[in-house]
Structure formats: C-alpha cells, structure tokens
Amino acid sequence: MGNVNTVTDLQVEDGIAVVTLDSPPVNALSAAVRDGLDAAFARAIDDALVSAIVLICAGRTFIAGADISEFGKAMTGASLFDVQNRMEGAPKPVVAAIHGTALGGGLEVALTCHYRVAVPSAKLGLPEVKLGLLPGAGGTQRLPRIVGAAKALEMVTSGTPVGAKAGLDMGLVDELAPEDGLKAAAVAFAKKIVAEKRPLKKVRDLDVKGGTPELFAEFRKANARKFRGFDAPEANIKCIEAAATLPFEDGLKRERELFMGLMSGVQSAAQRYVFFAERQAAKIPNLPKDAQLRTIKKVGVLGAGTMGGGITMNFLSAGIPVTIVEVKEDALQRGVGIIRKNYEASAAKGRMKPEAVEAAMGRLTPTLDFGALADCDLVIEAVFENMDIKKDVFARLDATVKQGAILATNTSYLNVEEIAAATKRPHDVVGMHFFSPANVMRLLEVVRGDKTAPDVLATVMELSKKIGKVAVVAGVCHGFIGNRMLSPRQREAQKLLLEGAMPWDVDRVLTEFGMPMGPFQMSDLAGLDIGWSAATSKGETLRDRLCEMDRRGQKTKAGFYDYDETRKAIPSPVVEKMILDYAAEKGVNRRPISDEEILERCLYPLVNEGAKVLEEGKAYRGSDIDIVWINGYSWPVYRGGPMFWGDTVGLKTIVERLRHYQNTGGDDFAPSKLLVELAESGGKLSGYGG
Ligand code: 3H9
C-alpha cells in the first residue's frame, strides 16, 4: 500500500524522491493513478530536501496508457494535463524509469519528464490508432519534437512500439539501465543530472525536424490503401502536421479537438470494444478453479497438405517440436518443402533471421510412420474433410497415441462429437479449426464437444496464445461460428446474381463496406473448383458452368472475373452473358438491384445467423462472434464485427428489413427468436452473454 494513495508511494532518500506507481495489471492512468501522481509530485516539488524526482512503476510494466475502461464515463480525479504540467514544470529534474511497455498516455507522461532511462527490453509507443484514437495527451506534439516528423508519422499511424535501444538512437531514451537494476540506475542518473547541473530538458521547447508539406503529401499517398476506411490515421497525420506548423500550445489545442472527434465516433467505440472482446474471448466461463493445464512439449500433425503445413509452422515458430505424418513420400517431401520455402521467403523479407529458419526446420520430424505420433502431447489431424476418413483416423489415433494426450481435429464443418465417438476417450478430443493460410490468419476456433474435458479446453486456449492465435470457443454445429454465418451471405450473393446484380456489383458494395474482398473475388482467389469434379458436374450452377469452361479462378486467369498479367480483376463480358442466359433459363425476370439491397441481403442474414448461434449456445458471447469475424474473415475492425455492427444499425431495423425480405424471398430471412427479443427489449447482440 502506498503512502500517497492506494496506488502511489513516495520515498525520499539521499535527496532523490522516488514516486512508485503500483496499479495492477498494467498501471493504466486511472483516476486513482492520476490523483496519486498529482499528489506525489506536488509533495516532492515542495520538499526542499528533494533535488530530483524519479518516476517508476511496480509490477510487470511502466504505465501502459490511459485506462481504456474509463473512456466514455464521467471524468473523475485529477486531470492528466494538470499532472503533466506539474511534472514538466517542476523546478527540479524529473526522470522516468521505464520497464515493460510505456504506451499511449504512459509514453506521453514519460515525455513530460525531463529525462528517460529504460531497460533494454522496454518498449515505447503510441498505439492509440489501434483503438481508433490518437495520442491525446500531447503525444503527437512532443514525439515529433524528439524523433522528427517522418518517424513520428510512422509511429503514430502504425501504433507499433520501438525497443529501448532504438529509442536510445532516436533520443527518446537518454540512458539504458541494466535489466535487473532499473531503480538504482535511474536514481544514479538523477544524481548525475543534479551534480552536473544539467538543464531541465522540456520536449515542448524543441523544434520539429523534417515536417515539410511534401513529406505529408507523400506519406498520405503511400498509405492510402492501408488506411482506407479508417478515420484515425488521417487525424493522427493532421496532428503531426500541426506539430510541424503551429506553436506548441496551438498544436495541443488541435490535438485535443481531433482527439475528441475520434473519441465520440463509432469507429473508436468499435475498436475499444474489440480490444476488450479479444481478451474476454480467452476466458472460459465456469472453468473449475482447480483445472490443471496439460503439458504440451511435442505436437503431432497428421497431413502435410496446405493446412497441415500451415498448422505445423505455428508450433515450429513458437519453439515447439512437431512430428508431421503423411502417407506418401512425395506428399511428405512436398509439404516439408513448402514449409521451408515459406520460412525462407520470410527471411528474404527480413522478417526472420536465416538461423531462425534452420532452428525452426530443426524442430520438424517428417515421417511416414503413424506410430511416431505415440509420444506426442497433442495431435492435430488435418486430413481430407470426410467423416469416414476422420473416424478412421481417430480410431487409429486412439490405438496409437499415449493416454492423456489431446486429440484434435481441424475439421471446418464436421461434427466433432461424432469424430470423438470413434475413440474410447472422447473427453480428450477437441476441434482446432485453423483458418487458411494457417500460419498467417490469427483466428483459431476451438470446438468444444459435449464430452470435451475442461482441462483440454483450457490447455488449448493457453497454447493458442503461445502460438500467436486469437482463440474463440465454439459449440458443435455445421460450420461452427464463422462458416455457419458465412453460408447465408454466400447464398444471398448467389441469389442476387440471378435476380439482377453482377458479381462486381456485390463485391464493390462489400469492399466499400470495408471487407478486403467481396465473395466472388474470394471465390476466384480460393479456386472455384474446390469440391468440384468434372466427372460429376451437371452444369446446374454458375460455378459448374464456369469450371466446365475452365474458368476456375485466378489460377486459370479467369473465373467470375477476367484477370490480366498483374492479376487485376476485370469484369468479364463472358460471365455477364452467362449470368443473363442462366437467369433466362430459370425464368427469372432480372431487375435493377440497389446497393442498399445488396448490403442488407448479404449482411442482415449473417447477423441473424449470429443471433441463432447465440440462441443455441454455440458461442459464449456475442463479442466472441465478432472476434471470429475480425480475425478469420477480415471484417473491418472499425465496424466492430457483425454483432457490434448490428447493434449500431439497430436491431429493430434489422428485424424489420428481414421481415420485409421474408415477404418476398421466403423463410431464409425469418428473424431468429433471440434477435426479435433483443430488438423488442432494447438489448444488444454485442453485450449478449457478458
Ligand atoms: C491512451 O493512452 C489515450 C491517451 O493518449 C490520451 C488520454 C487523454 N486500460 O493485454 P493483456 C487490461 S489509450 C485498461 O492481457 P499483456 C486488459 O484488459 C491507451 N485496461 O496483457 C487485461 O485485463 P484482464 C493506449 C487495460 O501482458 C489486463 O490489463 N494504450 C489497459 O498481453 C492485461 O492485459 C494501449 O492501447 C488499459 N490501457 O499485454 C495499450 N491495458 O486481465 C493497451 C491493458 O481483466 N494494452 N489492460 O483481461 C496493451 O497493449 C497490452 O495490454 C499490454 C500488456 C502490452 C500493455
């Protein structure tokens, strides 16, 4: 317990005041922390025996930012600006001692200190853009005064922190401290400053270097694609521009205005919601407190195809050895070759060191021997998507793999309980549904069968963090959470073609909404012939007809679109004619279809399906569904996922429009019971399930 308030301690020793914050988990700038800082600095400044002040944090990190959970609530406690003014205006040196992460408001506080000392492992950054915000406590005005306009632009618009060593090179950090001796080093540094009578370095008094109009114009142009749809990057750029062109106080005012604009907007509300939703998804309700995690030291992967190879890479990269099993030597060699090629491509782009490639490959044991899976702690099956094959594989795994191991299936649609029933240990069986490319996509759907043991679930959730995935628990149903909700969207997209739209109309509406690709661009990319066979094709669907013409997608340079040499998609007159003929054959009178109808028909049934998932208890929470869509299907994060977006549209409106389409298009559009209930009671899908 601190002697200033519950989270702040002040000790004076040998003329140096040490202010310690201790507000777990991340020392965020809550009202109590601001009050504590304010009072502690007032006392230390008034104390004639104090010649310098060190600010340090207890626990795992320096201040990790403003307290995001306070946003949108009535403000209490000391104002952060007053605290910063007190610190910066102190008549004696103030030194920030940084470990862990100095992020957002945390770095902004450190920038009002006269000096900064950090351990080498510390990270410093302004990640507000990831919350749809900008650094609103002077960060956009002070950072460029130290690191220059170009570097500041990069840091505030990417939100990516820099390490302490890079910080030292840029002038953000004044001295590095030993990893286990931060406090002593910071105190010694403060004493040195006093002894040498060094000036009180105020960042606000420096000039911004390199903030030319050309820099901003070029930066905007170079990043236009990346920032498409987001409000926050442009507001961040405007702030750095203000820093380069206005006096400090005017720049601060501009920063404040732009910050308030973002803060009251729906994009930041969505992105802040996603921040907490992601952390919430990792929590399993009603998990027995005594659930011990199983140890996973060695993983087995069955199948060296695209999925098996991608899955394997996750573990190899995280330092976990993998035994990969195939049935044929050439398939095994091909799979291993692709894994190596992927790593080497990363190394060529500078994303990993060549020795790390060898280290990862060194953890891989390729084999044709099924028996080699016997001593694995977790085996993930990634074989052909067919129930009989999966059952056979699980029966063999049951007979081969040691007791206590976790047996996982990567199925995307099949019933995990039926697969588990092929073993005598269904409690050890779980779904681990990776998304392609499995080494890149962040989402992992963890499918819980009725018999899956709680410790199996907890172990897989924990392991997913280790391999850099965002895991969401799903119940057993066709397509689990994500693919189940995708299917009504695909159905409507196809129907719209018949009724009057063209593939490029549907794709344009969905990309303007913020999806990186529309459904037809996605089909062309994936290949139209997945699950199609020339032998059985009857030319019944548009897809059949395209494949029969060898228009199988990007790989054949033709699918729903034509493709030029640079893979640019061009609307195809052949496809247009084919769609018109097809509609005529089916006796459909095509009509003009508005963009609004395309959007509503593609997305409202998807939201409705999400409500059914919740109603049936196949997801714990509405926010889990949003995490699935953001990380597995690239739903625009600034719209918060389909449940959050549905709430912003208004559930009453969605129910009304679904009923409207139900009148003309049938019961595919019938609103779910839960959706109707929430619409009537004023409830929210995003808040459903807590
Ligand atoms: C800002 O600063 C605005 C200013 O510019 C302007 C002000 C006027 N607030 O991630 P973890 C919680 S905006 C409240 O699992 P890790 C988190 O919810 C802010 N709570 O740990 C979780 O709670 P629980 C700019 C926060 O070790 C627990 O702490 N700063 C905050 O993997 C542990 O978190 C940021 O955007 C917060 N600021 O990662 C930084 N941060 O256990 C956001 C965390 O109940 N934070 N919590 O689920 C992070 O990036 C990571 O949390 C961090 C630690 C890297 C710090």
Residues identified as active-site? 108, 128
What pLDDT is attached to residue 311? 98
Residue 626 reports pLDDT greater than 80: yes
- Pairing state between β 16-21 and 8-13: antiparallel
Ligand 1 in reach of 108 Cβ (< 6 A): yes
Ligand 1 in reach of 26 Cβ (< 6 A): yes
Q: How far apart are CA 485 and CA 607, in angstroms?
A: 8
> What digits encode the pLDDT tens for the residues 60-79?
999 999 999 999 888 899 99
Q: How remote is the CA of residue 35 from the centroid of ligand 1, in Å?
A: 19
Ligand 1 in reach of 124 Cβ (< 6 A): no
User: To 5 degrees, how large is the angle CA 316–CA 322–CA 325?
Assistant: 130
What pLDDT is attached to residue 545? 94
Work out the pLDDT band at 215, boundaries 50, 70, 90: very high
What pLDDT is attached to residue 539? 87
Ligand 1 atom 54, closest CA: 26
> What digits encode the pLDDT tens for the residues 420-471?
999 999 999 999 999 989 999 999 999 999 999 999 999 999 999 999 999 9
- Output the CA torsion 450→456→457→458 (10° steps): 150
Helix (H, G, I), strand (E, B) or coil at 576: helix
What pLDDT is attached to residue 533? 87
pTM tops 0.75, yes or no: yes
Q: How remote is the CA of residue 69 from the centroid of ligand 1, in Å?
A: 9
Average pLDDT over residues 14-31: 97
- Output the CA torsion 639→644→647→649 (10° steps): 20
**Phi, psi at residue 86, to the nearest 5°?**
-60, -45
The H-or-E segment that residue 249 falls in is helix 248-263
Query: What does the mean pLDDT of the chain come to?
Result: 96
> What digits encode the pLDDT tens for the residues 644-670?
999 999 999 999 999 999 999 999 999
Ligand 1 atom 30, closest CA: 65
Q: How remote is the CA of residue 339 from the centroid of ligand 1, in Å?
A: 34
What pLDDT is attached to residue 274? 98
Ligand 1 in reach of 10 Cβ (< 6 A): no
Q: How remote is the CA of residue 131 from the centroid of ligand 1, in Å?
A: 11
Q: How far apart are CA 314 and CA 435, in angstroms?
A: 12
Specify burial of residue 74 (Cβ count, 10 A radius: 0-12, 13-18, 19+): exposed
Residue carrying the six token digits 């035994």: 323
Q: How remote is the CA of residue 633 from the centroid of ligand 1, in Å?
A: 25
Residue 82, both tokens: 């007053």
Work out the pLDDT band at 328, boundaries 50, 70, 90: very high
What pLDDT is attached to residue 133? 98
Pocket test of ligand 1: the residue of 26, 263, 272 to mutate, having most ligand atoms within 8 Å of its CB, is 26
- The share of the chain scoring above pLDDT 70, in percent, equals 100
List, in order, residues 6 or more apart from 239 with CB less than 8 Å away: 134, 135, 140, 141, 156, 251, 254, 255, 258
Average pLDDT over residues 335-350: 96
Q: What is the position in ligand 1's atom list of the atom closest to the CA of 130?
A: 36
- Whether 118 and 167 have beta carbons less than 8 Å apart is answered as yes
Q: What is the position in ligand 1's atom list of the atom closest to the CA of 123?
A: 55
Q: How far apart are CA 438 and CA 460, in angstroms?
A: 16
Residue 1 reports pLDDT greater than 60: no
> What digits encode the pLDDT tens for the residues 117-160?
999 999 999 999 999 999 999 999 999 999 999 999 999 999 99
Ligand 1 in reach of 488 Cβ (< 6 A): no
Work out the pLDDT band at 289, boundaries 50, 70, 90: confident
Q: How far apart are CA 309 and CA 303, in angstroms?
A: 8
Work out the pLDDT band at 288, boundaries 50, 70, 90: confident
CB neighbours of residue 550 within 10 Å: 11
CA distances from 474 to 285, 368, 608, 678 (A): 13, 32, 17, 22
- The share of the chain scoring above pLDDT 90, in percent, equals 95
Q: How far apart are CA 247 and CA 358, in angstroms?
A: 53
What pLDDT is attached to residue 532? 86
Ligand 1 atom 6, closest CA: 136
Ligand 1 in reach of 80 Cβ (< 6 A): yes
Ligand 1 in reach of 28 Cβ (< 6 A): yes
Ligand 1 in reach of 139 Cβ (< 6 A): yes
3-state secondary structure 592-645: CCCHHHHHHHHHHHHHHHHHHHHHCCCECCHHHHHHHHHHHCCCCHHHCCHHHH
> What digits encode the pLDDT tens for the residues 220-273?
999 999 999 999 999 999 999 999 999 999 999 999 999 999 999 999 999 999
Ligand 1 in reach of 429 Cβ (< 6 A): no
Ligand 1 atom 28, closest CA: 25
Q: How remote is the CA of residue 276 from the centroid of ligand 1, in Å?
A: 9
Q: How remote is the CA of residue 65 from the centroid of ligand 1, in Å?
A: 7
Ligand 1 in reach of 7 Cβ (< 6 A): no
Q: What is the position in ligand 1's atom list of the atom closest to the CA of 134?
A: 5
- Whether 62 and 98 have beta carbons less than 8 Å apart is answered as yes
> What digits encode the pLDDT tens for the residues 555-610?
999 999 999 989 899 999 999 999 999 999 999 999 999 999 999 999 999 999 99
Residue 79: half-sphere exposure toward Cβ, Cα within 13 Å: 6
Q: How far apart are CA 555 and CA 567, in angstroms?
A: 9
> What digits encode the pLDDT tens for the residues 390-422?
999 999 999 999 999 999 999 999 999 999 999
Nearest C-alpha neighbor of 438 from the set 312, 338, 317 = 312
Q: Which residues make beta-bridge pairs with 472?
A: 445
Nearest C-alpha neighbor of 268 from the set 79, 72, 470 = 72
CA distances from 304 to 325, 464, 495 (A): 7, 20, 37
Average pLDDT over residues 603-618: 98
Start-to-end CA span in the chain (Å): 32
What pLDDT is attached to residue 447? 98
What pLDDT is attached to residue 516? 93
Specify burial of residue 489 (Cβ count, 10 A radius: 0-12, 13-18, 19+): buried
Ligand 1 atom 5, closest CA: 135
Peptide bond into 25 cis (omega under 30): yes
Ligand 1 in reach of 110 Cβ (< 6 A): no
Cβ-count burial 224-253 (b if 16+ within 10 Å, e if not) = eeebeebbbbebbbbbbbbbbebebeebbe
Ligand 1 atom 56, closest CA: 64
User: To 5 degrees, how large is the angle CA 63–CA 69–CA 70?
Assistant: 90
Q: How far apart are CA 578 and CA 581, in angstroms?
A: 5
What pLDDT is attached to residue 290? 77
Residue 178 reports pLDDT greater than 80: yes
462-465: long-range pairs with CB below 8 Å, 24+: 462/293, 463/296, 463/378, 465/282
**Phi, psi at residue 124, to the nearest 5°?**
-130, 130
Ligand 1 in reach of 67 Cβ (< 6 A): yes
What pLDDT is attached to residue 530? 82
